[in-house]
């Protein structure tokens, strides 16, 4: 029997401008950049589905057509592949349309991640929900969502995912001050700050792109003012949840992530994701490894 789970819906913001990856992202959302033979967003959707969440809301902006088309039927292509007897390709294309129930809401103006999440209020309603950033890839061998869902069931409130990063990198992330709990790799979050200035970070724990949020966040987001980078920051709204009484949806915990993840919106991290995932593939890994070794020794 399926274990009872508190999270049934996930929000996937994909409306950012992707300026770090221009010009590739001028007309294509960065979430559609291929990582080997799937767009980055497909890994994210598969991760949510593997964790049992099939109701997904994409917060999109301009260029949403390619995303919508990717997760829809493509009758001409499907017919051609079927006629050619290209069974594996046919399956890979058809299955995508039935992977999840995907809904769309348009952000209009990309005012920041907090603003994007705020767009999900009507769809989500009054229950805890997951947020998966569409450009953040978590290695499927080290999933984090199941542990985050368990933590939410146990402690209630909001659950973040944290990863230890070198001190000279923490200014690029949201950063959390933490207190241990009696559970391994589950901590209480005592404060959180977006992109702290060098030397001001309360810890080396960076917030990564997986969240389980209490719906109390929506009311807070309505009055959250632009913060770091002039954007309405999700982190600033989460900081307010920390001080909210438990009965009103307050309290923030986090799961420490020790696996591999990639920010596909960052050029170097994107390249690493392609190489790492290709090296693990049965059909490509050996040949790529051989080529890489000889290329690097030249």
Contacting residue, 10, 11, 15, 51, with ligand UTP by CB under 6 A: 15
- Tell me if 135 contacts ligand UTP by CB under 6 A: yes
Neighbours of 232 (CB within 10 A): 20
User: Is 53 or 81 the residue whose CB approaches ligand UTP more closely?
Assistant: 53
Q: Candidates 68-76, 130-138, 165-173, 184-192 — which segment interacts with ligand UTP by CB under 6 A?
A: 130-138
Instruction: Specify the residue, 186 or 212, whose C-beta has the smaller distance to ligand UTP.
Output: 212
Burial, 38: exposed, middle or buried (Cβ in 10 Å; 0-12, 13-18, 19+)?
Answer: middle
Judged by CB under 6 A, which of 20, 38, 54, 219 binds ligand UTP?
20
C-alpha closest to that of 159 among 238, 247, 259: 238
CA 277 to CA 267: how far, in whole Å? Answer: 16
107 binds ligand UTP (CB under 6 A): yes
Q: Is 111 in the site for ligand UTP (CB under 6 A)?
A: yes
**Residue 261 engages ligand UTP in binding (rule: CB under 6 A):** no
Which CB, 120 or 278, lies closer to ligand UTP? 120
* Nearest residue to ligand UTP, scored by beta-carbon proximity: 16
β-pairing, 261-263 with 186-194?
Answer: unpaired
In terms of Cα–Cα distance, which of 116, 135, 133 is closest to 231? Answer: 116
- Whole-number Å distance between alpha carbons of 219 and 121: 9
Residue 174 sits in the site that holds ligand UTP (CB under 6 A): no
SS3 83: helix
CA distance 296 to 298: 5
Q: Which of residues 186-245 bind ligand UTP (CB under 6 A)?
A: none
Q: Where do we find the tokens 């017919």? A: 79
Q: Which of 110, 128, 227, 251 is the binder for ligand UTP (CB under 6 A)?
A: 110
Q: How far is the CB of 59 from ligand UTP (least distance, A)?
A: 5
Q: Does 16 bind ligand UTP (CB under 6 A)?
A: yes
Contact 259/142 with Cβ under 8 angstroms?
yes
Gap between the Cα atoms of 12 and 127, Å rounded: 16
Pairing mode, if any, of strands 55-60 and 9-13? parallel
- Kindly tell me which residue out of 11, 14, 186, 207 binds ligand UTP, with binding defined by CB under 6 A: 14
Is the CB of residue 285 less than 8 Å from the CB of residue 278? yes
Rounded to a whole number of angstroms, the minimum distance from the CB of residue 229 to ligand UTP is 8
Residue in this structure with the two tokens 């230890």, named with its chain if needed: 164
- Stretch near ligand UTP under the rule CB under 6 A, chosen from 46-54, 131-139, 147-155, 251-259: 131-139
Q: Of 20 and 272, which CB lies nearer to ligand UTP in the complex structure? A: 20
Residues numbered 42 to 81 that lie near ligand UTP (CB under 6 A) are: 59
Asked whether 76 and 84 are in contact (CB, 8 A), the reply is no
| Number of amino acids touching ligand UTP (CB under 6 A) | 20
- In the complex, which residues of this chain contact ligand UTP (CB under 6 A)? 13-20, 59, 107, 110-113, 115-116, 133-135, 265
């Amino acid at each position: 029997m399926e274990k009872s789970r508190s999270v049934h819906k996930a929000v996937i913001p994909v409306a950012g401008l992707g300026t770090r990856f221009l010009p590739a992202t001028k007309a294509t959302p960065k979430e559609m950049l291929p990582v080997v033979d799937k767009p980055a967003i497909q890994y994210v959707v598969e991760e949510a589905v593997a964790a049992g969440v099939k109701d997904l809301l994409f917060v999109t902006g301009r260029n949403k057509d390619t995303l919508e088309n990717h997760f829809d039927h493509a009758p001409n292509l499907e017919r051609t592949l079927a006629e050619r007897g290209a069974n594996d390709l046919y399956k890979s294309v058809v299955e995508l349309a039935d992977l999840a129930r995907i809904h769309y809401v348009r952000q209009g103006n990309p005012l920041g991640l907090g603003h994007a999440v705020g767009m999900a209020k009507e769809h989500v309603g009054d229950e805890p929900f997951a947020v998966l950033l569409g450009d953040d890839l978590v290695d499927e061998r080290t999933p984090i969502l199941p542990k985050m869902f368990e933590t939410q069931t146990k402690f209630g409130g909001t659950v973040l995912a944290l990863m230890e990063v070198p001190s000279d990198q923490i200014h690029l992330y949201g950063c959390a001050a933490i207190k241990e709990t009696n559970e391994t790799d589950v901590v209480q979050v005592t404060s959180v700050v977006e992109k702290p200035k060098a030397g001001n970070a309360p810890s080396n724990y960076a917030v990564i792109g997986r969240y389980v949020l209490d719906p109390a966040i929506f009311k807070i987001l309505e009055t959250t003012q632009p913060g770091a980078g002039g954007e309405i920051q999700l982190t600033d709204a989460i900081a307010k949840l920390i001080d909210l009484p438990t009965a009103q949806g307050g309290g923030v915990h986090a799961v420490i992530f020790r696996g591999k993840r990639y920010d596909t919106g960052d050029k170097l991290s994107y390249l690493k994701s392609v190489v790492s995932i290709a090296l693990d593939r049965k059909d490509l890994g050996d040949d790529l490894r051989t080529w890489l070794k000889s290329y690097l020794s030249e």
